[in-house]
Structure 1
Amino acid sequence: MAEQAKKRILVVDDEENARIGLSKLLEREGFEVESVSNGYEALNYLNQRQVNVIVTDINMPEMNGITFLKELNKNFPASNVIMITAYGGVESYIEAMNLGAFEYINKPIKIDELKSILKKIFKEKEHRH
């Protein structure tokens, strides 16, 4: 049970500055944060450790966020995923939500918006237990 004490978030973004910035913001909010630069690294990480929430960019080389979300659905179906993008389009929003993303937000990320989404996720998790 001690494993669940810290709320663990995995940040997946190919843009190093965005990944580091978001990770630092979340750490300051009291979360345990790991970050990787693409979907393949994320899947590899998830095979070794559990996380409570995954925050992933949509536009990434090699494996984009939508493909990553499909892989999560196959391998880690209970994942809580927040999709982030600088290029928000209606099509990708609809596809992400249909694939089970918890939320979809545009960059630049507003920390208050992200905190409110995270609070919702953790509240729902508590209700399920």
Structure 2
Amino acid sequence: MGEEIKTVLIVDDEENARIGLSKLLSQEGYQVSSAANAGEALEYLSREPVSLVISDINMPEMNGLSFLREIHNHHPGTHVIMITAYGGVESYLEAMNLGAFEYIHKPVKLDELKSVMRKIAN
């Protein structure tokens, strides 16, 4: 913790979610990239370091929890916020145990997201 967030990678199989979050965060001054799935995101992370990953939990091929595990194994300094429309207590606990900084329910509210991002920076 204690580092300024400059670059954000949004990972979500729903295009509208990626576009919406990208626009909101870009307007706030962040450099934002996006990926449609975990495999694409891992490939991106192997080339470009980011300050923060915001990832959906429910994705095809590799779900967000498996993706979170991969991030922490290969990019341990990267902060991760998990987002979901379907999550329950079990997925929340698993995400937090795997090292997620926070777990936010969709639809993501900009004020809530900014508050979590401020906590990461402090």
Give TM-score, length-normalised by structure 2. 0.94
Superposition deviation, residue 53 in structure 1: 0.3
1:47-80 deviation per Cα after TM superposition (whole angstroms, max 9, x unaligned)? 1011000000000001100000111111111210
Superposition deviation, residue 122 in structure 1: 1.7
CA contact (8 A) 2:55 2:64 kept: yes
Task: Quote the residue 1:47 is aligned against.
Answer: 46
Q: List 4+ stretches of structure 1 deviating above 4 A.
A: none
Map 1:5-44 → 2, pairs under 5 A: 7-44=6-43
Structure 1 pair 6–98 and aligned structure 2 pair: CA distance change class (3 A): closer
Give percent identity, aligned residues only: 62
CA contact (8 A) 2:5 2:121 kept: no
Higher relative contact order (CA 8 A, sep 6+): 2
1:82-128 deviation per Cα after TM superposition (whole angstroms, max 9, x unaligned)? 000000210000000000000000001110000011111122xxxxx
CA contact (8 A) 2:5 2:52 kept: no
Instruction: For structure 2, list consecutive stretches of 5 or more residues without a partner in the other structure.
Output: none
**What code does the residue aligned with 1:61 have?**
P
Q: Distance in 2 between matches of 1:98 and 1:85?
A: 16
CA contact (8 A) 2:37 2:59 kept: yes
Q: Distance in 1 between matches of 2:75 and 2:4?
A: 21
SS at match of 2:82: strand
Structure 1 pair 5–93 and aligned structure 2 pair: CA distance change class (3 A): closer
Superposition deviation, residue 5 in structure 1: 8.4
Q: CA RMSD in A?
A: 1.4
**What code does the residue aligned with 1:101 have?**
A
CA contact (8 A) 2:5 2:51 kept: no
Superposition deviation, residue 43 in structure 1: 0.6
CA contact (8 A) 1:9 1:34 kept: yes
Q: Distance in 2 between matches of 1:26 and 1:116?
A: 13
Give TM-score, length-normalised by structure 1. 0.89
SS at match of 2:47: coil
